[in-house]
Structure formats: structure tokens, C-alpha cells
Homo-oligomer: A and B are copies of this chain.
Amino acid sequence: MPTYKAPVEDVMFLWNDVFGIDRHANLPGFSDASPDVVSAILEESAKYCEEVLTPLNRIGDKQGCARAPDGAVTTPDGFKEAFKQFVEGGWIGVSAPAEFGGLGLPIVVTQIVNEFLCSANMSFAMYPGLTQGAIAALIAHGTPEQKALYLPKMIAGEWTGTMNLTEPHCGTDLGLLRTKAAKQPDGSYKITGTKIFISAGEHDLAENIVHLVLARIEGAPEGTKGISLFVVPKMLPNADGSPGARNAVVCGSLEEKMGIHGNSTCVMNYDGATGWLLGEENRGLPAMFTMMNEARLGVGVQGLALSEVAYQNAAAYAKERLQGRALGGAKFKDKPADPIIVHPDVRRTLMTIRSFNEAARALVMWTALASDLHHRSEDDKTRQAADDHMGLLTPVIKGVFTDLGFANTVMAQQMFGGHGYIAEHGMEQFVRDARITMLYEGANGIQALDLVGRKLPKDGGRALQAFFAEVQGFIKDQAADDGMKVYVEPLGKAIGHLQAATMWFMQNALAKPENAGAGSTDYMHLFGLVALGYMWAKMAAAARAKLKAGANGSADRMNAKLVTGRFFMERVLPETQAQLARIQSGAASTMELKAEQF
């Protein structure tokens, strides 16, 4: 059975040495987030994740959720108690406003905790995760009455939340959606339609479930401009805020799916259910999009989380499993065979995964910090730059972290040989669970298109220029330091490839957008590697500074950082040249066949 240890020390290195987050102590919430406080919070979260959630992960996979004939859904054994503990710990509202019962801490803390939760038990983590998303939507778009009614309950974990977008015939293209909303004399709406793939749509963890539902008001325009957002609680709140009568929304069935069995993925049937408009009429889609960046960043974090826990278990197995001898002759002559970690190909695999994990964690923190600055800074320029950063990096993190996160779970499983295929080791569950992250919250092809078609050209390319300037500024700053050459030279080459690819799009995709479309996924991954490479260069600089300053007991960890960063530069980053070549080959052979020839 898999084990998990939350990487608290690694996070604190990023917090203190790489990003120096306490320089933002003047911002709301950050003053309460001193390194000591953050470290204590993370240790507490780690303990809960390691001891409570990790052991429930395989149980959840094996049992799944069960639906009764009346539509009630039971979660796997232990989930209810674990959720109770989670709620009592105040974890749902870590970054929620204090006025509604939250702790008001930076979003960066929430994203770190989310990584731990998803490593330990992704199916479980999705229940509070979706609630956090619904809370954000209510904060952004709710009336004061709606906020007062829903937020305290949801932040306290008494009520949970969901997002209802997808219908059987439409997911990516929500303009096609058919769920209807009929206005009632009292200002409420009757919602009728079927939604699918509703995570946490029905369960037994909380007394009420607050569904946020996209629907079309009768008479509204067709397409995306006629979609509104509604709050549709499972139990209609009484005047005193307690849950009252059952609303006409029911779980019609549970999806039989590849993984995340511990999470209830529901078909939700709305049969004239009572709902209330959230935000403006016909502005439902933009309202959802305001939460998109954080939701997508959260899915990227899931990719990292599964890569991390898969790595930990693969590394432990590789140190333990005796099989064959080292290439240069036996390393452990007293044992019947050497542990497989002596083999270069095993190490190559493990190094590939960890060189992603550590840089990905840095990129999440950097980007979550941007989200905080965007929400909390009082400086217009800072807010705008932070928003630019979020907008640009979000599709990259969602698309690249989930593609690579999944690939990494597969590589980690491979370390177990045939045993990796057997359920009891838990490695195949990580693969199955990770697979969903590439599909939901916008399939990764959509992320690539969002990056290339929307985020690159936005505001005259301002966000991209700022990113280039930051990375190149860093490279320049390090030029004098010979010890940094092994990091900044490959990074310089890689960002050169990214610039060349950008230029190629500018020259070739305006007249023929297919040239951008055909190269979009490669571009997204090229961008991801450059961003991860930049994180490695920053971490290497911080590790070197720390070693120079005496390292304070962490010399071994810092040296490992320097080695892992070199591995990334030598073994992962070279991919950028192939990505550029593919992009520059254009769309001709991709588009030439007639549809019927496929």
C-alpha cells in the first residue's frame, strides 16, 4: 500500500529562499503568514494527509461510491469521518475571507495544502476543492444576501458546492447548452435539464449541497451570450438559514469511470428545481470564467500531486527491490542482488520525475502568489502584472502539469515491473486518477488553444513580453557567476527556441490560423519547459547562496537541488529544439487529408 510524506521542507525552501514571500508581509493576509506560521500550518496539514487521507485512498478506489434507488449517494468507508476532521480543522476556508469565517491566508497556502491533499487522496480532495470553487464564485458574483446565506455554511463545511456546466452533447462548446431556466413571479427560476460529469454532485458528507448551474433563461439569445448562472441548493434554505424542503434536483446515476472512484461523478437531473440567479442575466459564462484561472491552476496542482506521490513510492521501491546487479559489478555483494536503484535507467526515470516535481511546485507557488497579488495588492501595476502572469501561465500549468504528471505516474508505475500492474501496490490507481486531470476543466488541447489563440496576442503580447523580460533579466544577472552557467546557458537556448516559435506564429499564423493550431500543443509544452527551466535556475541560485552562507544543516538537500537542476537542463530541456522543429513544420501535412480519409 502506498505511503506519502508531504514535502514541507521543500515548500519552505521555496517560500523563504526562492521567493522570499515575507517581503509581501504588508499585504492583507500575508502579515498572518509568517514563515513560522506557514510551516506550522503545513506540518498540521501534512499530518492529516499522511495519517488520515492516505490510508483511505485505496479503499476509496476499491469501494467507490454507491447510489440508492432514490438518488442518495454513499461515499466510501471513512470518508465521512475524514471530512468531519477536515472541516473541524478549518481547512476549507484557509484563504476565504475572515468576515465569513475563513482564515484569510494567501491563496498560495491553499494551493500548497491542495497539493498535499491530492497526493494523499485526490478523490477525497475534490469534495472540498469544488466547494472552494463555488465559494469563490459566490464571493465574486453573489448579492450580499446570497453571501450571507451561503458563505458561512460553505466555509464551515456544513454545506458543500458543485459546478454544473457539461451536458451530454456539450462540454467544450457551452454555447450549445440546453438546460432551461423559467422565471417565477417571486424572482426565482425553475431549472430543468440534465448535467453530466458533476463531481461531488451528491454525497453523504454534508447536510446540503449548493449547485452552481449554467442554464438558459427562456427567451435568452442562442449561443454563449444567452447563458446565465444559478444557485440551486439541494435543500431549500429556510428563513433561518437551516436546510429546508428537498429541491427537485436528483442524482440520476453515477458515472462508471477509469479512476477517482472515491469521488461521486453524477448525472444530475433538474426537474423544475428552484434556483436563483447568481450575477447578471446572460452573463453566466463570463462569471464562470472569472474563476477559471484558479480552478485550472488547481487541476495543474493535481497533476503535480500525483506525480509527487507516485515518485515517492517508486523511489522507495527502487531502494528496496533486489533484482540483478549493477552494470559495473555488484554493489551489495552480501545481498542476493542489488537494489534496482543502482541501474542508470531506473535513476534516469526517477530523476526525470523529481526534476519535474520540484520545479513544478515552484511554478505553482510563483503563480499562486501572482493570484494573491492580483487580489490583494493596492498597486495597479502590480495587480495588472500579476493578472497577466496568471492568465499566461494558467493554461501552461494546467496543460503541461497534467500531461507530464500523468506521464510521470506511468513512469513511476514502470519501476515496479509487473507488480505495478497489480492493484494492491496502488501505483496503477495513481495512473488512473491522474488521467482525468488532462480531460476536465478544459481538455489540454483547449488549454493549448487558449494559450496560443488568446493569451499570446492579448494586450499586444504584454504578458509574454513581461515573461521574456523577467527570464532574460535573470539570465543576465547571473552571467558573472561561473557556477550558474550549467543552468542559465541551457535556459537561454530554450527561451531562444520559445522566442523563435513565437516569431514563427506571428509570421505564419495570421494569414493561416491553422499554423498556430497545429503547433499549439508543442508550443504549450515548449513554454512549460522554459518556465520549469527558469524555476530550476532560480532554485539553483538560491541553493548556491544558501550553501555559501553555511546551509544551516541543509547542505545535502541543497546539493541534491543542484544535481537535479543539472539533470533537468541536460535531460529534459533538450526537448525544446524538437518542439520548435515541429512547430516550424507548419500545418500542411496535418490538414491535407480529407475527413473521410481518417
Contacts and interface: CB of A to CB of B under 8 A. Distances in A.
A477 interface: no
Contact of A518 (B319, B345, B438): B345
B417 A428 contact: no
Interface string A410-422: 1001100110111
Nearest to A413: B435
Interface string A555-575: 010001001101100110011
A449 interface: yes
A347 interface: yes
A245 interface: no
Nearest to A585: B570
A598 B422 contact: no
Interface stretch (A8-16, A168-176, A378-386): A168-176
A431 B598 contact: no
B258 A324 contact: no
A482 interface: no
A172 B345 CA distance: 14
Interface residues of A, number: 96
A595 B332 CA distance: 13
A197 interface: yes
Contact of A256 (B422, B438, B556): B422
Interface in A516-555: 516-518, 520-521
Interface in A317-371: 318-319, 322-324, 327-328, 336-337, 339, 341-351, 354
Interface string A176-205: 100000000000000000001100000000
Contacts of A444: 414
A571 to B, nearest CB: 5
Contacts of A520: 344-345
A26 interface: no
| Most B CB within 10 A of own CB, among A341, A431, A563, A589 | A589
Interface stretch (A28-36, A92-100, A136-144, A576-584): A576-584
Nearest to A169: B322
Given A344-B514, A417-B443, A563 B577 contact: no
A239 interface: no
Contacts of A37: none
Q: A interface, by DSSP: helix, strand, loop or mixed?
A: helix
Copies of this chain held together in the complex: 2
A439 B422 contact: no
A440 interface: yes
A585 B336 CA distance: 32
Contact of A172 (B255, B323, B593): B323
B439 A431 contact: no
Interface string A441-475: 00111001100010000000000000000000000
A436 interface: yes
B517 A343 contact: yes
A250 interface: no
A592 interface: yes
Contacts of A196: 418
B593 A560 contact: yes
Contacts of A413: 435
A119 interface: no
B255 A341 contact: no
A172 B575 CA distance: 31
A105 to B, nearest CB: 32
A180 to B, nearest CB: 17
20 contacts: A172-B323, A176-B322, A176-B336, A196-B418, A258-B428, A343-B517, A344-B591, A345-B517, A346-B445, A351-B590, A414-B444, A414-B445, A417-B439, A563-B592, A566-B588, A570-B585, A570-B589, A574-B578, A574-B581, A574-B582
Given A173-B324, A328-B513, A577-B581, 15 more contacts: A169-B322, A171-B323, A172-B324, A256-B423, A256-B424, A258-B421, A345-B517, A347-B593, A349-B445, A351-B590, A354-B598, A556-B597, A560-B593, A575-B578, A577-B578
